[in-house]
């Protein structure tokens, strides 16, 4: 088990190192004038020269790369000259919003998708199975931005015209301001993201459960008189969770880097909307910080998926 963890951690570190090399080459080697790009379009020549000296851009490339990696390891992602604050300050303000959105939606789509998938698998080719399949395909085919706009139109605009203000139009309320206000601002974004993602988990759970329920040990458990619910949940579902865990880790890790469409539709100033604003403003330090964080989130999520594999299926530890 220890060797398994060490191999996965070593692979994750290697991937992160390759990412830092790619980011450094893309943002610090390829541009003709890095200091000008970092300072922004309206910076004076004196500001550009000060930034070049401050960042050591007159040093050899190997020294610049070591400083870049060393600062990143210490949590120093640079200084945003557009807003005159450290990049970590901007990311620190946006990250709680993205985490709240992703984790809340993840709980909904995981519960809804797995539940629907189990129901479909235990009633194959029935009306319930076909109905849940149609439900999944409908939301899977619906663009996220369209679903978000529809929810805003029906549950905000139309209800507001009718004199009900159950849901806000958008924005974010901090958790410190109260659980009700925090959840009220996120309920529509949660379901926008969750309904689209749950469709994948419904089909994935159904296919995996159908394979598992046909195994010999499931038939043996049934022949012993074990209750069907226990056979399905304890013996079947646990064995079927491996591909679901894989998809869940990839989805959450990727979305933590920024839920661009959903955050834009609902005016949530999370990492996704911050990244779009930084691109429009050519705010290079913020772009670099978000790229590094998003990459690290994906790598960490994959390592956690491997750990979950080892818990769910001990055979994985042998590979």
* Secondary-structure percent of the chain, ordered helix, strand, coil, rounded to 5: 80, 0, 20
Closest CA relative to residue 98, chosen from 242, 228, 259, 284: 259
Tokens of 147: 């679903």
Name the pTM for this structure. Answer: 0.81
Contact yes or no for 301/295 (Cβ under 8 A): no
Closest CA relative to residue 119, chosen from 223, 234, 199, 209: 209
Q: What is the four-CA torsion angle of 144, 150, 152, 158, rounded to 10 degrees?
A: 180
Q: What is the mean pLDDT of residues 212-217?
A: 82
The Cα 305–Cα 194 span in angstroms is 20
What count of other Cβ atoms lies within 10 Å of the Cβ of residue 150? 12
Q: Where are the domains of the chain?
A: 92-281
For the stretch 120-177, pLDDT in tens is 988 888 999 899 989 888 988 888 889 888 988 888 878 777 777 777 766 787 877 7
Tokens of 160: 């507001």
pLDDT reported for residue 108: 93
Q: Which CATH architecture has domain 92-281?
A: Orthogonal Bundle (1.10)
Q: Which of 52-61, 189-198, 240-249, 284-293 has the lowest mean pLDDT?
A: 52-61
pLDDT reported for residue 307: 78
What is the phi/psi pair of residue 9, to 5°? Answer: -65, -40
pLDDT reported for residue 315: 56
pLDDT reported for residue 112: 92
- Measured over the CA atoms of residue 199, residue 200, residue 201 and residue 202, the dihedral's sign is positive
192 burial via Cβ count (<10 Å: 0-12, 13-18, 19+): buried
Confidence of residue 106 (pLDDT cuts 50, 70, 90): very high
The Cα 197–Cα 206 span in angstroms is 15
Confidence of residue 240 (pLDDT cuts 50, 70, 90): confident
Contact yes or no for 288/78 (Cβ under 8 A): yes
Beta-strand relationship, 79-80 and 85-86:
antiparallel
Q: Within its chain, how far is the Cα of 239 from the centroid?
A: 25
């Amino acid at each position: 088990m220890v060797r398994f963890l060490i191999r996965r951690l070593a692979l994750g570190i290697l991937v992160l190192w390759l990412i830092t090399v790619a980011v450094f080459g893309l943002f610090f080697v390829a541009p003709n004038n890095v200091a000008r790009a970092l300072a922004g379009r309206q910076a004076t020549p004196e500001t550009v020269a000060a930034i070049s000296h401050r960042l050591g851009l007159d040093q050899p490339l190997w020294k610049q790369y070591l400083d870049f990696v060393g600062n990143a390891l210490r949590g120093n992602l640079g200084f945003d000259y557009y807003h005159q604050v450290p990049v970590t300050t901007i990311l620190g303000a946006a990250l709680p919003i993205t985490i709240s959105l992703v984790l809340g939606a993840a709980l909904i789509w995981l519960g809804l998708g797995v539940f629907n998938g189990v129901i479909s698998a235990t009633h194959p080719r029935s009306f319930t199975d076909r109905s849940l399949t149609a439900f999944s395909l409908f939301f899977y085919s619906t663009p996220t931005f369209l679903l978000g706009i529809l929810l805003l139109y029906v549950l905000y605009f139309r209800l507001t015209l009718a004199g009900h203000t159950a849901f806000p139009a958008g924005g974010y309320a901090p958790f410190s301001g109260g659980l009700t206000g925090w959840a009220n601002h996120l309920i529509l974004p949660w379901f926008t993201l969750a309904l689209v993602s749950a469709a994948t988990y419904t089909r994935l759970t159904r296919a995996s459960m159908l394979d598992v329920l046909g195994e010999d040990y499931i038939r043996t458990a049934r022949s012993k008189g074990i209750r069907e619910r226990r056979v399905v949940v304890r013996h079947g579902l646990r064995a079927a969770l491996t591909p679901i865990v894989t998809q869940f880790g990839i989805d959450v890790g990727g979305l933590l880097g920024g839920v661009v469409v959903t955050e834009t539709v609902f005016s949530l100033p999370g990492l996704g909307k911050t990244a779009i604003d930084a691109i429009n403003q050519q705010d290079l330090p913020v772009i670099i910080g978000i790229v590094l964080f998003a990459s690290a989130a994906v790598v960490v999520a994959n390592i956690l998926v491997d750990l979950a594999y080892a818990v769910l299926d001990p055979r994985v530890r042998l590979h």
